[in-house]
């Protein structure tokens, strides 16, 4: 089993997070959790007062406790919401409607 407390380094730390109120964050789900690099990303920026909408791909599991496990990597005034599992080929209009609903 992998070490869930490990924090791999980011290759690039230049994301301009300050200019966004809502951030879409995508990753593959591994055994109902996000890869630890996602925690590293969240811990590397100030997401205070922002909404983070998650999306993921998965071979079979859902989000599980992903939201709860990521909340410890941001300040308490950051809203993390479970978005969508994007397996298959959702249409552009389907994706646009989801993003606009955020």
Asked if residue 1 has pLDDT above 50, the reply is: no
Instruction: Measure CA of the first residue to CA of the last residue in the chain; give whole Å.
Output: 35
pTM: 0.86
Short-list 25, 19, 51, CA closest to 38: 25
Q: Write down all domains in the chain, each with its CATH number in brackets.
A: 19-101 (3.40.50.360)
In this prediction, residues 38-48 reach a mean pLDDT of 96
Better-scored residue on pLDDT, 58 or 21 = 21
Please report, to the nearest 10 degrees, the dihedral formed by the alpha carbons of residues 28, 23, 19, 44 taken in order: -50
CA 37 to chain centre: 10
């Amino acid at each position: 089993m992998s070490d869930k407390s490990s924090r791999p380094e980011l290759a690039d730390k230049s994301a301009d997070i300050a200019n966004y109120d809502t951030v879409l964050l995508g990753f593959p789900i591994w055994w109902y959790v996000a890869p630890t690099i996602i925690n590293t990303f969240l811990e590397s920026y100030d997401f205070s007062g922002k909404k983070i909408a998650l999306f993921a791909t998965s071979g079979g599991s859902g989000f599980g406790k992903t939201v709860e496990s990521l909340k410890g990597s941001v300040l308490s005034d950051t809203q993390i919401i479970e978005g969508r599992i994007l397996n298959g080929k959702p249409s552009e209009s389907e994706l646009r409607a989801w993003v606009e609903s955020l």
